[in-house]
Chains A and B, each alone.
Chain A
């Protein structure tokens, strides 16, 4: 049962297509992220749903009602803006009360709802402050409270955490997820930060060049990327060129000097294919036990893990190893690289735009 439905939503600015044929179903209570690099059309899509940008084509249905031509101020959608867009001349409580005033909610009720919502976001003690007197994280919460107080059927978050520093961002991620689950509002978030999208959402919609590339649960988007774009945008990966070769009448893959079986080589159009292996799925071993042989070029210590760059016949490989408290392999060492068969993904070349 879909609550929000986008039907081939398209937006053109002159000759450029900002969003192309966006089709998407979001269930009630779901948390969905639009994930993509800047200019991929995610913000345009959000703005069309909000009613700030008119679609060139397509329809938007909310709860079965076509809202494509409805004005922004009649849609009742809650929005948290990237810049927070707080009203600087109003206090925190006045900011939160604004939407209720517009709905002519009686004073007692609006008073109660404002303090409930401020309590929900943990700002009940700061109602009399002005936005300029608040920290970035607190402003973020005010923006969230202001959007939630009207009990919107749909909540749109436009890069909500991008203005916070790294540590605060992590805390807010957890809190945002908790609040969303507590109030159960259907939520659509726009972000370019893949870890944010993966950790917060029920499903991610990966976009590139105005198109939807993959809609999937975070784990699947990471583990089963549809194409080269998704695999490299969602998480780090090694994108490698391989060839389909014949070994004893059996089609196999060749990667550098390593030839190995692969279950689903049938149906591959070309002999040259791209495959992806995540850095954490590669293991380093001695040169006799590796499927590939290489030499350590760079080693970076990243706190909880090590990042190695290995030169090999198959190209440069990134390998991450958990930190176990001792330094094992150093720069210049010859190493073997190996992987489990299920770590390898064959990818389509990106074909859209």
Chain B
């Protein structure tokens, strides 16, 4: 078989038709992406350097004012600080909840394992709007959480009202994003050789030591990639912060939305969007670099 595949990679100087083939095949998709993804992004970049006037609308100039405004105005500082603060909290909670859950899932027996895996992953297929609505009904003014607290005599019903609070936004975002953490860790756990765990038990390690010293180091790449996905999605989340955070707790995504569709200051909105984009891309790139350097050797 090795011989067979080696013969598939062709001669150094294949005929023209063979050299063109990959471009003809991928051409339609590539052109589609370059025009319909490249052009809009380029246009938005240009737009972010334009200026805006309430009476005249968008003026095509070249100015850094939008970026300066976002980077110096304490109003925007607060928004970006909130955005990334919430994301960090969501990542930490997703690790604390998702990692043990993935481990527990992987140790379940046959029918339960796939059943609960589906239960965990299925919410990903249900619209974020529906899932966030559920949280509104739970933690809203007249929600189940407040009523339960009251019925148990623990607190007044109003204590269960978490609408427009950081806690509420974080809880709902964890709910929306924790399946991504479980998937990542689950995938990493699948690659684990169960005999290694048994080997360490046979050498006298306790279960908690096995988890800390043997399992965690091996699934670390999974935890990191899960954290990356959760962080990136949480930093750019729109629906959940918009519905639960509302106007009071603006994040980057909802701020850009407001600039575009309410204030109509598109250049400023474009600048916010680009900062969000650059931060996201930088994060993913850094992560990829780091992974290549650290894990290629040991865990390829």
Contact = CB atoms under 8 A, between A and B. Distances in A.
Interface in B1-56: 1-4, 6-7, 9, 11-12
A44 B11 contact: no
Contact of A44 (B1, B3, B9, B12): B3
A311 interface: no
Contacts of A301: none
A140 interface: no
B12 A43 contact: no
A82 B7 contact: no
Contacts of B3: 38-39, 43-44
A82 B7 CA distance: 15
Contacts of B7: 18, 43-44, 47, 52-53
Nearest to A41: B3
Q: Is the interface of B mostly helix, strand, loop or mixed?
A: helix
Interface in A7-52: 12-14, 18, 38-39, 43-44, 47, 52
Interface string A302-342: 00000000000000000000000000000000000000000
Contacts of A13: 6, 9, 11-12
B14 to A, nearest CB: 9
A131 to B, nearest CB: 18
Contact of A83 (B1, B11, B12): B1
A38 B12 contact: no
A214 B35 CA distance: 61
Nearest to A83: B1
B11 A82 contact: no
A41 to B, nearest CB: 9
A52 B7 CA distance: 9
A82 B6 contact: no
Contact of B12 (A14, A52, A53, A158): A14
Nearest to A16: B6
A54 B8 CA distance: 11
Contacts of A158: 4
B11 A43 contact: no
A56 interface: yes
A43 B1 CA distance: 9
Contacts of A83: 1
A288 B9 CA distance: 62
A54 B11 contact: yes
A53 B3 CA distance: 12
A332 B6 CA distance: 49
Contacts of A54: 11
B16 to A, nearest CB: 14
Given A44-B7, A47-B7, A52-B7, A82 B1 contact: yes
B8 to A, nearest CB: 8
Contacts of B1: 82-83
Contacts of B9: 13
A53 B7 CA distance: 7
A38 B3 CA distance: 8
A317 B106 CA distance: 55
Contacts of A12: 11
A13 B11 CA distance: 6
25 contacts: A12-B11, A13-B6, A13-B9, A13-B11, A13-B12, A14-B12, A18-B7, A38-B2, A38-B3, A39-B3, A43-B3, A43-B4, A43-B7, A44-B3, A44-B7, A47-B4, A47-B7, A52-B7, A53-B7, A54-B11, A56-B11, A82-B1, A82-B4, A83-B1, A158-B4
Which 6 A-B pairs give the minimum distances between C-beta atoms? A43-B3, A53-B7, A47-B7, A14-B12, A44-B7, A43-B4
